[in-house]
Amino acid sequence: MIVILKNGVQREKRDQLVDWLKEQGLGIHVSEGEFQTVLGLIGDVSNVDMELIGSLGIVDSVKRVSESFKCCNRKFHPEDTVVEVGGVKVGGGHFAMIAGPCSVESEEQIVAVAKAVKASGADMMRGGAFKPRTSPYDFQGLKATGIELLKLARAETGLPIVTEIMSVSHLPLFEDVDVIQVGARNMQNFDLLRELGKIRKPILLKRGLANTLKELLMSAEYIMAGGNEQVILCERGIRTFDDYTRNTLDLAAVPMLHELTHLPVIVDPSHATGIARLVRPMALAAAACGSDGLIIEVHNDPLHALCDGAQSLRPEEYDALARDVAVVRGVVNQ
């Protein structure tokens, strides 16, 4: 850790700070420049409160030289993590297509969609049983029943299932789920993350609406510090001043995360844009910039078929997209 002092700090104040840091068991290397003094903190700085030091009157800024994330840091694990779900692999050159409806609505619906996306080569199936809704008056999902219906669809198709958890107390219901999703709104629900670190099941961790990449990695770290190393990261759009799409899909996060971490990174173009017409171009773009997979909403609802469709694709649209994604991936990987 490096502490940069303000110009013209009194020697006495500086020495008080150095003494206080030494009391915390650190070695201090003082480097006096023409214009400023820099303190290099040597030893275990993991418990040093950066914000506190940065706020001191004599300190200009503090810089952590070694990142605070360890388990997910590519520096310490240069090889890609490959997450395995049933026979499906994600990461390390393996690309996963995850598809299905926003909400599980009925056996008929989820089985039909699962069969359709399976026919188009999907690797896993998604479907919401517990739905986080802004309003307490909106449909909150079929809950336990929804999970049972997902299992039925899995039995019919063999596709592993991905579904979202909203509370630690529901964990027993997820015992037979293949991948547990943590939604954007729960990315910093630290108690939930800690509990998910205790199990041994892949976690799909979505980036929060206003969270930096470092915060996303620190949340992965909560899970991994508990011993569960099977984490898939997901970019799904951030909140900006832009109002023409629901969120702003931040695709540069994909190559940047690949630099910072060895974990697989997938993209959700459906929630990012909220507009079905934009799912195809954004899915192709995600494949082109190196994402390790896509999670896409597909429905077979007659109203949608009739008119156009919110953010969900119809099965035939998904089918065409899946083929083109494969071709783009082929080009990029050559």
Q: Restricting to residues 218-277, name those near its own copies by CB under 8 A.
A: 218, 221-222, 225, 238-245, 248-256, 259, 272-277
Report the nearest approach of its own copies to the CB of residue 240 (Å): 5
**94, 194, 201, 314: which one binds its own copies (CB under 8 A):** 194
**25, 93, 158, 281: which one binds its own copies (CB under 8 A):** 281
Of the ranges 2-10, 79-87, 91-99, 148-156, which one interacts with its own copies (CB under 8 A)?
2-10
Cβ nearer to its own copies, comparing 27 with 92: 27
Q: 289-308 in b/e burial notation, b at 16+ Cβ within 10 A?
A: ebbbbbbbbbbbeeeeeeee
Using rule CB under 8 A, residue 213 touches its own copies: yes
CA-nearest of 86, 137, 85, 142 to 110 is 142
Report the nearest approach of its own copies to the CB of residue 327 (Å): 5
Of the ranges 80-88, 108-116, 136-144, 150-158, which one interacts with its own copies (CB under 8 A)?
136-144
Exposed/middle/buried for 51, CB within 10 Å: 0-12, 13-18, 19+?
A: exposed
Of the ranges 88-96, 119-127, 147-155, 206-214, which one interacts with its own copies (CB under 8 A)?
206-214
DSSP letter assigned to residue 99: E
Report the nearest approach of its own copies to the CB of residue 280 (Å): 8
Q: 233-267 in b/e burial notation, b at 16+ Cβ within 10 A?
A: bbbbbbeeeeeebbbbbbbebbeebbebbbbbbbb
**113, 124, 125, 278: which one binds its own copies (CB under 8 A):** 278
The full 3-state SS of 188-240, as one line of letters, equals CCHHHHHHHHHCCCCEEEECCCCCCHHHHHHHHHHHHHCCCCCEEEEECCECC
Using rule CB under 8 A, residue 40 touches its own copies: yes
Q: Rg of the chain over CA atoms, in angstroms? A: 23
Using rule CB under 8 A, residue 296 touches its own copies: no
Report the nearest approach of its own copies to the CB of residue 64 (Å): 10
